[in-house]
Amino acid sequence: MQLIDGKALANKVQTEVAEEVERLKQEKNVVPGLAVILVGDDPASHAYVKMKAKACEKVGFYSITHNMPDTISQSEIIQIIEMMNANPHIDGILVQLPLPKHIDTDKILEVIDPKKDVDGFHAYNVGRLVTNLDSFVPCTPLGVMKMFEAYDIDLEGKDVCVVGASNIVGKPMAALLLNANATVTVTHIYTKDLKAHTAKADIVVVGVGVPGLIKEDMVKEGAVVIDIGINRIEDGSLVGDVDFPKVSKKCSYITPVPGGVGPMTIAMLLSNTLKAAKARA
Ligand code: GUN
């Protein structure tokens, strides 16, 4: 079994982004800028946004966080986004999800200028991804693709089971895998027999937020297992959606939690923001 070291790969990507930022500054006098909109006081969201801001600083981006109370109205959020759309120093706009219940997330995401949509959640970018055109791709599945590439894991013709069908992870993951010529099965909460699908897959990609959902009898010998889940359990530790101690014994490759997909998500946000800034330059 080989561990896929997301932390090391993310560090490598960050170093490459930092070098390109320096070049962009010198040659075009452009500093990539990211605006983050954070609503409410969900501790996990605050922690993620803090990590994103720190990573921006590290690679030399300009970044601002709009930290708003959860009493904010939908039209006020839209106003902030429109301001960021018009701001020439801002290349990327990220609205941290989930938003409070009284806000229509779909409406909010549609207001973001697709050229600044570094999360790849706007329907324009989703449509371009599905049709295999150049687009902004959601950071987590993009990070997983980067891992496959870095570890020479071939996707063509492989049976891949994606567990979870969210707009943020499962659906774009499936589109990317399909674009890479894999045979993709997407399972979700209504799937009748999850194990029947995971157990025959060459590659299992899981991101549902259920600790230890994927057990050893659900995975084929020699499979590649990518764990996107990050769950804090009762003893305070972080675990993924895979029963790592047991499943790892059967795998050819597996991602750990923490230190797997998580750091890659942030690295891909930097990469997407750099891409937006280059388009501006
Ligand atoms: N919430 C959970 N994951 C993400 C993400 O990748 N981007 C945003 N904006 N919110 C999230």
CA of 66 to the centre of ligand 1 (A): 15
Task: Judge whether 96 counts as a catalytic residue.
Answer: yes
Cα separation values, 173 from 139, 144, 165, Å:
10, 8, 9
> In the 8-state DSSP scheme, what is residue 114?
G
The three-state secondary structure class of 163 is: strand
pLDDT per residue over 170-186, tens digit each? 999 999 999 999 999 99
Instruction: Find the largest Cα–Cα distance for the chain.
Output: 56
Nearest CA to ligand 1 atom 2: 97
Instruction: Confirm whether pTM is higher than 0.95.
Output: yes
The whole-number pLDDT of residue 86 equals 98
Residues 74 and 108: their CA atoms lie apart, in Å, by 8
Task: Judge whether 159 counts as a catalytic residue.
Answer: no
Q: Tell me which residues of the chain have a pLDDT lower than 50.
A: none
Catalytic residue among 5, 52, 241, 275: 52
CA of 215 to the centre of ligand 1 (A): 26
The whole-number pLDDT of residue 110 equals 98
The whole-number pLDDT of residue 71 equals 97
The whole-number pLDDT of residue 138 equals 98
Task: Judge whether 52 counts as a catalytic residue.
Answer: yes
pLDDT per residue over 87-142, tens digit each? 999 999 999 999 999 999 999 999 999 999 999 999 999 999 999 999 999 999 99
Catalytic residue among 96, 158, 220, 275: 96
The size of the chain, in residues, is 281
The three-state secondary structure class of 214 is: strand
Domains and CATH numbers, the chain: 29-120 (3.40.50.10860), 139-262 (3.40.50.720)
